Amino acid sequence: MQAIEQLCSNLNAGKENNMTKWECPCGYVYDPEEGDTENGISAGTAFEDLPEDWVCPKCGAQKDFFEPVD
Ligand SMILES: [Zn+2]
């Protein structure tokens, strides 16, 4: 059990780096853990760190339209 708790705390520590998911009005969800590799965004890129000209790969909406997901 202790090993699992240790693993969990390590995972949580890694999530401090703004791994919040963001949802587009069209339903697309940007997951920082996956990034948007088809558009040159590597996995682990926080939404805040996306380039200003990044748009939703599904509908083309700008970042301003996205809402954070709990
Ligand atoms: Zn969209």
Neighbours of 45 (CB within 10 A): 20
The answer, yes or no, to whether residue 25 has pLDDT greater than 70, is: yes
Cα of 61 from ligand 1 centre, angstroms = 5
Mean pLDDT of 26-36: 98
| pLDDT score for 4 | 60
Q: What is the pLDDT of residue 33?
A: 97
pLDDT at 17 over 60: yes
pTM for the full predicted model: 0.74
- Burial of residue 22 (number of CB atoms within 10 Å: 0-12, 13-18, 19+): buried
Give the other-Cβ count within 10 Å of 4's Cβ: 8
Q: How far is the CA of 32 from the centre of ligand 1 (A)?
A: 16
